[in-house]
Chain A
Amino acid sequence: MYAFNYKKAASLSEAKTLFASGDDPLLMAGGQTLIPTLKQRLASPSDVIDISKLAELKGIEVSGDGVVIGAGQVHASVQNSAEVKEAIPALSALAGEIGDPAVRHRGTLGGSIANSDPTADYPAACLALGATIHTETRTIEADDFFTDLFETALEEGEIVTKVSFPVPDKAAYVKFPNPASRYAIVGVFVAQKGGKVRVAVTGAGSKVFRVAAMETALESNFSADAIGEIAVPSGDLNSDLHASADYRAHLITVMAKRAVAACG
């Protein structure tokens, strides 16, 4: 770790001010991605601005058709929230599959999506549920939020405050974890709402993406069989030690079928 100034923000506006005054500042929420990066000396911020305690980023609110989760909510709080479990069980189940208990008690929703890690779980939920990402200045649709590998639509220093997830009629997330890291090699989130179906895939490409062919097929016949023959071309998929692109392509279909089946 390189030396840096640690600054704890007491409010959203103070976080903004601290960020603006730093030479090369970074925001830190749960630190579950940032701290390993710092420890490996892969980042050398001048200032680390801790936003983990900001009241503005806290809270879980469930209304008739939406679940709004503060960006500062740790994964365990989403996993264990009775309201989320009731409204979007697939979302709380997803949170429960992130990392291990220690990670889930520090890592946050905001940190997870701001990072746009191609193997992270939450991005699949955001995209499949058609979530809206709120920042201190604007709202961004999930479809526009994840722009590339570790890239999002966020401006420098822009802070995610909350995410609103429309409540689907049915949804399920099925993850094939990397045997070593337990991040997703392939994670497929399927959601159906009012005849519309969204299928989002994480882990397999440079960023989370939707599979239009599966969505169309499922809109006319919401059953695992409907997508059994639909394969995502392996050309653009990730290939690594744990899974070649063709294996990933195969797993997308398998996980998608299992997600549809799990929707009941």
Chain B
Amino acid sequence: MASSSSSNVTGIGAPVRRKEDHRFITGKGRYTDDINQPGQTWGSFVRSPHAHAGIKSIDKSAALAVPGVVAVLDGKDLAADEIGGLICGWMIHSKDGSEMKAGAHPALALDTVRYVGDHVAIVIAETQGAAKDGAEAVVVDYDGRPAVIDLATAQKAAPVHEVSNDNTVYDWELGLKAETEAAFEKAAHIVSIDITNNRLVPNAMEPRAAIGCFDEGTGNYTLYTTSQNPHVARLILSAFIGIAPEHKLRVVAPDVGGGFGSKIFVYAEETVCVWAAKKVGRPVKWTCDRSEAFLSDCHGRDHISHAELAVSEDGKFLGLRVKTLANLGAYLSTFSSSVPTYLYGTLLSGQYAIPAIYVEVDGIYTHTAPVDAYRGAGRPEAAYLVERLVDRAAHQLGRDPAELRKQNFVREFPYETPVIMTYDIGDFDASLDRAMEMIDYKGFDARRAEAATRGKLRGIGISTYIEACGIAPSKAVGSLGAGVGLWESAEVRVNPTGSVEVLTGSHSHGQGHETTFAQVVSDKFGIPIEDVEIVHGDTDKVQFGMGTYGSRSGAVGMSALANACDKVTVKAKRIAAHLLEVPVDEVTLTDGVFAAVSTNETLAFGEVSLAAYMAHNLPEDGMEPGLAEKAFYDPENFTFPAGCHICEVEIDPETGVTRIANFVAVDDFGTVINPMIVEGQVHGGLAQGIGQALLEEGIYDKDSGQLITGSYMDYTMPRADDLPTYQVDMTITKCPSNPLGIKGCGEAGAIGSPPAVINAVAHAIGNDDIAMPATPQRVWRSLQESA
């Protein structure tokens, strides 16, 4: 939607500086750990040192004797209070129609621990130090047992949970099995690949934290927590875990320093803090340290897959079949079951017209930290698999990778894939062409030859990805097993003076909503963003909302906001018409001014809002005073951001070190509210995607189940000097299904980039078996082997 007034410098499309940044970069943010409550105690968790063990006994006496320790609570105390376990909110069914096998997930272990870091007890004390001293003094008598760590063999190992004797949570399928088999029968070429999607540790800058409070006077609970979706947390804590009735529990997610999915979930720690607050009669605060975060935050990805592409003689894709093992860790986290199924299998068509696709996914238990959504959630896994496979097909058929892609692009929309998605719009040629132009694809051979003179191996890799955002139409996800609806809410309150408060169910944890949501309002009313305040993250202030993940805040949250704004405009115009004594359809709203076309009379936005609240002279038809409107927006379809990433690398064959020489990202996000923020989102996503491709990997010891990469000494977080200067551009097709035409941009960088990087590395070293992360050692070894 075009800006309602061209003179609006803070409306849609304006590269406005982020309103929140001054607070963040001057240390004035208010994160959960910055909050302190009168009488507060500190909690520290006793965590399992074993990947798998029985708990024979827990001796609290020494801990209780530590000076300052107030209480030690364990799983039995929790059970005695009839506090339920943590839940997984998306029911996945196996091929035979049976329900997924969810093992019990108590917030404090009862008789068994199932991964290193599993929560066993909480020690509550006067200070954080005393709580930690106390936690060390709790004596847990463990009966160590063999751990199931290796994903590939887990189905043959002893069960992690009694509910599944082969460690299979579900065996899920999607697509056209018979048609796919038939496609392979007639294929001239079959291209196959075995592929691993490495486990990632999210590493939000702010570690998780929680403060549980209980007010004896009112019987009300308050939980301050690092959440991406405070209402969902409240719903789960009340309706499923049974901490308190929903109306007696307030959840506040203040400034949150990054989430990347890892703060969607309801974890044991916040559950225990809010429950324990009533038990000890004082607020209980817990702040995770980084080592604890490595062990206990939900991890991401961790798939192994075998995939085959059936291709005709002349290069048309005929069919795709995929078998994936998805590591879900020791327990099913909040949305874990949906990530390798409906957020993954549904995207396996990529940007291509593939008439027959069939995918099977086994969700697997292992004695490792739970695995759930992480920036991209399912779509990076799909894009990586498809884009690596397509590159291999080009290689095998002796075709140019760009040409082969183009030959198979979807060009007519809407396009229904065999994996239940309906792509609404896109222009895949436009983004590929632009990216090839920006990177000077034609000039690559000369650059490669020049690199060779310096002893370097140069390679180029393409990824043409598609993903699905705006999660999601409630009806659709409900039919697929989601335990929630995925609409969003907004309330627009115009104050008497004409300033505006927006209450949104979306939650900003770094995305810049205070700026971009204000831009939508600014655009709609023609008022400056300074006059708009965005309120979010507090269930006592904001109406029920679904929160932020899956790049949904633009496509869903802003749609609700736009609709609420439009309702305000309708009412405000009626008031203005009444005051200006003209028919309502004669009133325009431009730059914050209501004007009557025939009389040239005007009223400022604030004059109309004041009139609405003074209510001295409202239209005679019984109009209510006030100017505030609410909207709940439920999308009709997913949105489909897509684009092309091209990466050029240079490899030092002596050391195996890969440097990214050039990286181009051309994305189609639909309408862009703030190009500067969108570019920032792309940069951050690319850093994470390149991190996955070259640097990051969560590794457990195959026998002991200890997390080997449990700190920054061993887990390679991307740093500025690991990353190139990106070249970013956009080609835009507006999303037809939502009022602003937005598709979403938060995850695309992390989705599109890994295959581009690995395709480039494979091209450089002439070996496309190279796995992520392509570390120097791995690349060097690969070169040794092919030498």
Within 8 A of B (CB), among A1-54: 1-3, 39-41
A3 near B714: Cβ-Cβ < 8 Å = no
The yes or no answer to B709 lying at the interface (CB within 8 A) is yes
- Do B715 and A247 touch (CB < 8 A)? no
**Beta-carbon contact of A243 and B713 below 8 Å:** no
- Evaluate contact between B709 and A254: CB separation under 8 angstroms: no
B278 on the A face (CB < 8 A): no
Q: Is B449 an interface residue (CB 8 A)?
A: no
Contacts A41-B132, A243-B777, A247-B781 known; list 11 others, CB within 8 Å. A2-B133, A179-B695, A180-B712, A180-B716, A181-B713, A181-B714, A241-B708, A241-B709, A242-B714, A242-B777, A244-B777
**Chain A residues with CB below 8 A from B713, complex form:** 178, 180-181, 183
Contact across chains for B715 and A180 when beta carbons are under 8 A apart: yes
Residue pair B780, A179 in contact (C-beta under 8 Å): no
Give 22 CB contacts A-B under 8 Å.
A1-B129, A2-B133, A40-B291, A41-B132, A41-B136, A178-B713, A179-B775, A180-B695, A180-B712, A180-B714, A181-B712, A181-B713, A181-B714, A241-B699, A241-B709, A241-B714, A242-B777, A243-B777, A247-B777, A247-B780, A251-B655, A254-B654
Binding site for A on B (CB under 8 A): 129, 132-133, 136, 289, 291, 654-655, 695, 699, 708-709, 712-717, 722, 775-777, 780-781
* Complex contacts, B781 vs chain A, CB 8 Å: 247
B-binding residues in A (CB < 8 A): 1-3, 39-41, 176, 178-181, 183, 241-244, 247, 250-251, 254
How many inter-chain contacts with C-beta < 8 Å in the A-B complex? 43
A40 to B716, CA, bound (A): 19
Instruction: Name which of B132, B133, B709, B776 has the most chain A CB atoms within 10 A of its CB.
Output: B776
- Do most interface residues of chain B lie in helix, strand or loop, or is the interface mixed? loop
Residues of A close to B655: CB separation below 8 A: 176, 251, 254
Q: Point out the residues of chain A lying under 8 angstroms from B714, CB to CB.
A: 180-181, 241-242
Residue on A nearest B708 in the bound complex, by CB: A241
Q: Which of B129, B291, B722 contacts A3 (CB 8 A)?
A: B129
B717 proximity list for chain A (CB < 8 A): 180
User: Chain B residues near A1 (CB, 8 Å)?
Assistant: 129
Residues on the B chain within 8 Å of A3, using CB: 129
CB distance from B687 to the nearest CB of A (A): 15
Central interface residue in A1, A178, A247, by most chain B CB within 10 Å: A247
Judging by beta carbons under 8 Å apart, are A250 and B129 in contact? no
Docked complex Cα distance between A2 and B777 (Å)? 38
- In the bound assembly, the distance between CA atoms of A176 and B652 in angstroms comes to 12
Give the docked Cα–Cα distance between A3 and B289 (Å). Answer: 18
The residue of chain A having its C-beta at the shortest distance from the C-beta of B289 within the complex is A39
Chain A min CB distance to B757 (Å): 15
**Bound form: Cα–Cα A30–B289 in Å:** 22
Residues of A contacting B716 in the complex (Cβ-Cβ under 8 angstroms): 179-180
CB neighbours (8 Å) of A39 from chain B are 289
Q: Which A residues are CB-close (under 8 A) to B695? A: 179-180
Q: Closest Cβ of chain B: how far from A73's Cβ, in Å?
A: 25
A243 neighbours in B (Cβ, 8 Å): 777
Task: Establish whether residues A242 and B133, one from each chain, have CB atoms under 8 Å apart when the complex forms.
Answer: no
Q: Which residue of chain B lies nearest to A250 when distances are taken between CB atoms in the complex?
A: B780
Residue of A nearest to B712 (CB): A180
Question: Which residues of B lie under 8 Å from residue A2 when comparing CB positions?
Answer: 129, 133
Q: A164–B560 Cα gap in the complex (Å)?
A: 70
Q: How far is the CB of A249 from chain B (nearest CB, A)?
A: 12
Q: Which residues of A contact B715 (CB under 8 A)?
A: 180
Q: Provide the residues of chain A in CB contact with B775, threshold 8 Å.
A: 179, 242
Residues of A within 8 A of B712 (CB): 180-181
In angstroms, how far is the closest chain A Cβ from the Cβ of B582?
Answer: 65
State A192–B753 Cα separation when bound (angstroms).
46
Inter-chain CA distance A254–B722, complex, in Å, is 21
Bound Cα distance from A247 to B781, whole angstroms: 8
Who on chain B is nearest to A119 by CB?
A: B713
A156→B291 CA distance, assembly (Å) = 31
> How distant is the Cα of A4 from the Cα of B97 in the complex, in angstroms?
61
Bound complex: CA A2 to CA B133 (Å): 8
| Residues of B contacting A241 in the complex (Cβ-Cβ under 8 angstroms) | 699, 708-709, 714
Q: Which residues of B contact A180 (CB under 8 A)?
A: 695, 709, 712-717
Contacts of A176 in B (CB 8 A): 655
Q: How far is the CA of A155 from the CA of B709 in the complex (A)?
A: 34
* Alpha-carbon distance between A248 and B245 when the two chains are bound, in angstroms: 60
Q: Which residue of A lies closest to B722 (CB)?
A: A179
Q: Which residue of chain B lies nearest to A253 when distances are taken between CB atoms in the complex?
A: B654
Q: Which residues of B contact A40 (CB under 8 A)?
A: 291
* Shortest Cβ distance from residue B87 to the other chain A in the assembled complex, whole angstroms: 33
Closest residue on chain B to residue A182 by CB atoms = B719
Residue of A nearest to B133 (CB): A2
